[in-house]
Amino acid sequence: MLYTKVAGIGHYVPEEVVTNNDLAEVMETSDEWIQERTGIRERRYGIKHEETTTTMGVRAAEIAIERAGIQKEDVDFIIFATLSPDYYFPGCGVLLQRELGITKTEVGALDIRNQCSGFIYGLSIADQFVKTGMYKNVLLVGAEMHSMGLDFSTRGRNVTVIFGDGAGAVVLQPTEEENRGILTTHLHSDGTYAEKLAFINPGAHGGYHHKKMGNEVDYGYKDAKYGEMFLTQTMMDEAHIYPNMEGQFVFKLAVQKFPEVIQEALDKTGLTKEDIDMFVPHQANLRISQFVQKRLGLRDDQVWNNIQKYGNTTAASIPIALCEAFEAGKVNKGDLVCLAAFGSGFTWGSALIRW
């Protein structure tokens, strides 16, 4: 029987620190408002024209590969989770393969688009491939360059102040050691509220979903005939090309789904809240993490939060936080690590790992 272990982990955050006060210079917001509602003090932004979602993923991947004690060419499957890809297509997986210099073609590259739960989805996919013996070194990367696609006017402040750039990566390998590695993963989705947290345009929807739900938006389609609907002038003129979020709606569901999906993982494995050594939640909002921590009855030193420094880095948030906890000596062999995420889709999930 094979299990999937985390053989190596790495993370990378760009150097440029952007404080709440920096943002207050370009939009109507304040350090006080942002800290009070989200816990965020600052975030990192990649260097424009030099860094991308892929290149940050590469930096994190190189560390994970080195720590796993393998060579780049040993990687036999790449999973790349992001909502801010370099290109609409092809995905970041193949770009990362090229940047890493992996020239062999006996490697699969898969991009997944599950936003904040992307890393947990990736972990679950990797686990299926590894424990069935299909792959021996799966490289899973979560990376985001949000700063390229946010609205920096006051109109976009509810979304923009929350997000930051960065990347995290793990190398997953098989082990025969009983009760080691990924013990369980749980994935969920509910598309009912897809537009409550979404980046809709540009896109191939042609207004279909809005019409169906009775909330049509004028995207300037009326004169469009062939192929002019993906990105219209109206979308650009009226700023329909940024992420939107109904914050309170997302918040209420998140605080419900986090505890539910964690309990599901505990029930499946016959473990209890008391067995958790380290809880690494997706960094959506410090208030959400604190709420879940309380529900689990965990001490502050059993939860890793870094949203204060990096904001929400979406698919990168869990691997960055997990890597920091590991580097700080807070995750050791035999520890039970609990991961959980909730985000756009909505999709959510959890994982229990015996380190």
H runs (alpha helix) in the chain: 20-24, 31-38, 53-68, 92-100, 118-131, 157-160, 208-212, 233-237, 247-269, 286-296, 307-310, 317-327
Q: Which is nearer to ligand COA, 142 or 174 (CB)?
A: 142
Among 5, 7, 8, 38, interactor with ligand COA by CB under 6 A: 38
Q: Are 263 and 296 in contact (CB under 8 A)?
A: no
Q: How far is the CB of 183 from ligand COA (least distance, A)?
A: 24
Q: Which is nearer to ligand COA, 107 or 250 (CB)?
A: 250
The whole-angstrom separation of Cα 305 and Cα 308 is: 8
- Tell me if 29 contacts ligand COA by CB under 6 A: yes
- Tell me if 95 contacts ligand COA by CB under 6 A: no
Residues 152-171 that bind ligand COA (CB under 6 A): 157-158, 161
- Which strand (E) or helix (H) includes residue 219? none
Determine the number of helices (DSSP H) and then strands (DSSP E) in the chain: 12, 13
Among 2, 17, 33, 335, interactor with ligand COA by CB under 6 A: 33
Catalytic-role residue among 282, 305, 306, 323: 282
Q: Which is nearer to ligand COA, 28 or 218 (CB)?
A: 28
Q: Are 328 and 280 in contact (CB under 8 A)?
A: no
The CA-CA-CA angle for residues 6, 284, 17, to 5°, reads: 90
Among 6, 7, 107, 116, interactor with ligand COA by CB under 6 A: 116
Is residue 306 among the annotated active site residues? no
Is residue 116 among the annotated active site residues? yes
The whole-angstrom separation of Cα 177 and Cα 189 is: 32
Which stretches does DSSP call E strand in 157-283? 166-175, 181-189, 197-198, 244-245, 278-281
Among 293, 312, 313, 350, interactor with ligand COA by CB under 6 A: 312
Q: How far is the CB of 287 from ligand COA (least distance, A)?
A: 7
Residues 231-260 that bind ligand COA (CB under 6 A): 245, 247-248, 250-251, 254
Q: Which is nearer to ligand COA, 99 or 246 (CB)?
A: 246
Q: How far is the CB of 351 from ligand COA (least distance, A)?
A: 17
The structure tokens 């009760």 sit at 179
- Tell me if 185 contacts ligand COA by CB under 6 A: no
Torsion, CA 176, CA 349, CA 139, CA 105, rounded to 10 = 110
In one letter, which amino acid is 257? K
Residues 262-301 that bind ligand COA (CB under 6 A): 284-285
Q: Are 4 and 124 in contact (CB under 8 A)?
A: no
- Classified as helix, coil or strand, 187 is strand
Q: How far is the CB of 10 from ligand COA (least distance, A)?
A: 23
Is residue 338 among the annotated active site residues? no
Catalytic-role residue among 186, 312, 323, 338: 312
Q: Which is nearer to ligand COA, 30 or 132 (CB)?
A: 30
Catalytic residues: 116, 282, 312
Residues that bind ligand COA (CB under 6 A): 29, 33-34, 37-38, 116, 157-158, 161, 197, 245, 247-248, 250-251, 254, 284-285, 312, 343
